[in-house]
Amino acid sequence: MRRVQTVVMAADPVLRAGIVNLLDRRSEIELLAEDGPGRDPLIVMCADDAAELLEAGPQAAPKPAYTVLVVSRMNKAQLLEVVELGVTAVVWRREATADRLVRAVQLVDRGAGDLPADLLGGLLGEVGRARRARGAGTEPLPMGLSSREVDVIRLVSEGMETKEIAAKLCYSERTIKGVLHDVMTRLELRNRAHVVAHAAREGYLRWT
């Protein structure tokens, strides 16, 4: 089994110690010190409020675009902002069991994202209400994504991995990876979570 090299970061040492304790004995995780050796470790960043990360500005953004954020409080607007800083997965602190954290780390390590369904659903609902309020029922969607790209991104937003998406849409895994890579390159998006957030904000996704 491949162990994912992981660094836990938090301004609050008690919060950091709690997350380290959850991950320390998991065979799937190889914990590293913040200043220790390791090649591009995955970051688990912990905060009470997403505002802590956002107020620090871009200089506080995690350098690798492979980051799990464990947070107690965050709103829909902040979800978009942290994703744009490089966060790929978000785990509510109240749900941060060892199994839940390992799942998020493994998903991010495999190139997938993991965003809270309640926040994402609220974001999509807000976009839909805004479009209806301005009579957008017949308004065309913004240009930029093809129907195939939207199909792939919708399944990513539902938490599916590449293999599952390929089977669902009857494409090869290589094709799915290519679709997502093309979208990220063309629209200058950092990762899959950023792709989902962009599609939600632009009104391409519908939450049912």
Could you tell me the CATH number of the domain that includes residue 190? 1.10.10.10
Asked if residue 119 belongs to a domain, the reply is no
104 and 12 part of one domain: yes
Mean pLDDT of 123-140: 51
At 176-187, the pLDDT tens digits run 999 999 999 998
CATH number of the domain bearing residue 58: 3.40.50.2300
Enter the tokens of residue 113: 């994202």
Same domain, 17 and 109: yes
Indicate the number of domains in the chain.
Answer: 2
What is the per-residue pLDDT for 135? 54
Strands (E), 34-141: 42-49, 67-73, 87-92
**pTM greater than 0.75 (yes/no):** no
pLDDT at 70 over 90: yes
Are 91 and 101 spatial neighbours (Cβ–Cβ below 8 Å)? yes
Joined tokens for residue 169: 């849409």
Query: Residue 70: which residues within 8 A CB-CB, separation 6 or more?
Result: 19, 44, 45, 46, 47, 91, 92, 93, 96, 101
What is the sign of the dihedral through the CA atoms of 84, 87, 89 and 95? negative
Q: Which of 115-119, 130-134, 202-206 has the weakest average pLDDT?
A: 130-134
Task: Provide the mean pLDDT of the chain.
Answer: 81
pLDDT score, position 73: 92
**Average of per-residue pLDDT across 42-71:** 76
Domain that holds residue 36: 4-114
Closest among 120, 133, 130, 114 to 76, alpha carbons compared: 120
